[in-house]
Amino acid sequence: MALSHAASRSNLLKPLASAFSFSSSSSLRRSISSASDDSATLTVETSVPFTAHNCDEPSRSVETTPKELLRFFRDMALMRRMEIAADSLYKAKLIRGFCHLYDGQEAVAVGMEAAITKKDAIITAYRDHCTFLGRGGTLLEVFSELMGRQAGCSRGKGGSMHFYKKDAGFYGGHGIVGAQVPLGCGVAFAQKYSKDETVTFALYGDGAANQGQLFEALNISALWDLPVILVCENNHYGMGTAEWRAAKSPSYYKRGDYVPGLKVDGMDALAVKQACKFAKEHALKNGPLILEMDTYRYHGHSMSDPGSTYRTRDEISGVRQERDPIERIRKLVLSYDLATEKELKDVEKEVRREVDEAIAQAKENPLPDPAELFTNVYVKGFGTESYGADRKEVRAVLP
């Protein structure tokens, strides 16, 4: 077992062998001379290659701009600070119930968002705060929901696990492990039915990857060529169980067998962006694709988990030092002289101030009225009277 754990830790750190080689390597190059020009196109090579199963590999050369890199830095810094603040609020008993933090995995949220539009849909599990923020949610909505206040994104009635933003294509926030995947495939069915050329990203963790409903949903999605991308956020621990103890085949991007897959360095925001762009194009033409995001969470599984009983502190600090997604972008920004160290620290100070202000506002927000217990349970006017006509239309969209 000790050997297996050592091998597992080695794999967690492996992608960094070349991650920071850009400072002295020609693989990272600027396509025009002015780095300070927001419209400049920069070409950056991903830290490690993509690994493909039954599909082509995307190019490792990713096009970006100074504006995008600076936005990545700010967005991830904001997400990180938000989650650290949520940790403190939970310990102060201002947040109750379940709470699952995302710090360490921010590159998945920002990279995915950079590759798609708000017309595309995202559905995820209970580790959902940063995904909601990436979809355009506000800090006030986040902290109000976490503390059960009326200004929350689910009116203070959902809590940490049930964030939601329909107008931006974010369908939750789901507490049942793996249950969001069939729902996401249903959203993709609606997209194909509507012929609107959009896709759904259905996110789940390595712990949920062994759920039977995931394979059932994948099977029907492949049969019907639905525009869905199944995204396994492999942070290497399902609650307190290491992936190698739970899965005989932990190569999650291959688990679909007949469905193509791609393994991505999920700590590299630009690699995530490139993979999600590739996945969207593939899904619209060919149907489902699996993306395995090789990522890592710094906190425990939930607030009741210290996160250090089943892994060593050295492992956590090693990933922080060698693979942290924010530090990668910081190094890129500095290498291109897009900002100074002081300017980036000022961004982090501004982010801290924004988070503190949102928390103060959320604390002042009222709790929901007790009568709200009985609202939002059923959709008014929904019935089965039109089922027969709808069934004929549904048949027309299937193969």
Per-residue pLDDT of 75-87, as tens digits, reads 999 999 999 999 9
The string of pLDDT tens digits covering residues 250-271 is: 999 999 999 999 999 999 999 9
Share of the chain above pLDDT 90, in %: 83
pLDDT in tens, 88-118: 999 999 999 999 999 999 999 999 999 999 9
Q: Which pLDDT band, with edges at 50, 70 and 90, does 391 fall under?
A: low
| Closest of 274, 182, 175 to residue 230, by C-alpha | 182
Contact yes or no for 270/299 (Cβ under 8 A): no
What angle is formed at CA 355 by the lines to CA 354 and CA 360, rounded to 5 degrees?
100
pLDDT of residue 380: 77
360 with 143: CB under 8 angstroms? no
Per-residue model confidence (pLDDT) at position 378: 86
Please report, rounded to a whole number, the percentage of residues in the chain having pLDDT higher than 70. 86
Domain boundaries, the chain: 2-397
Task: pLDDT band for 383, please (50, 70, 90 cuts).
Answer: low
Give the pLDDT band (50/70/90) at residue 336.
Answer: very high
The rounded mean pLDDT for the chain is: 90
CB distance 72 to 329 below 8 Å: yes
Average pLDDT over residues 309-320: 96
Supply the pTM of this predicted model. 0.89
In which band, very low, low, confident or very high, does the pLDDT at 377 lie, cut at 50, 70 and 90? confident
Q: What pLDDT, on a 0 to 100 scale, did the predictor assign at position 390?
A: 53
Task: Tell me the C-alpha distance between 148 and 166, whole Å.
Answer: 19
pLDDT of residue 254: 97
Helix and strand numbers, DSSP H then E, in the chain: 13, 11
- Give pairs for 236-239: CB < 8 Å, separation 24+: 236/8, 236/12, 236/206, 236/296, 237/206, 237/207, 237/297, 237/301, 237/310, 237/311, 238/205, 238/206, 238/207, 238/208, 238/301, 239/207, 239/301, 239/305
**pLDDT (tens digit, 9 = 90+) per residue, 118-137?**
999 999 999 999 999 999 99
Lowest mean pLDDT among 16-25, 29-38, 345-354: 16-25
pLDDT band at 395 (very low <50, low <70, confident <90, very high): low
Say yes or no to pLDDT of 20 above 90.
no
- pLDDT category of residue 170 using cuts at 50, 70 and 90: very high
| Residue 150 · residue 156 · CB < 8 Å | yes
Which CATH number is 2-397 given?
Answer: 3.40.50.970
Q: At residue 335, does pLDDT exceed 90?
A: yes
pLDDT at residue 216 tops 70: yes
| 3-class DSSP state of 211 | coil
At residue 216, what are phi and psi to the nearest 5 degrees? -65, -45
Average pLDDT over residues 134-161: 97
* Least confident segment among 32-41, 99-108, 188-197: 32-41
Identify which of 139, 190, 146 has the alpha carbon closest to the alpha carbon of residue 169: 190
Under 8 Å between Cβ of 335 and 115: no
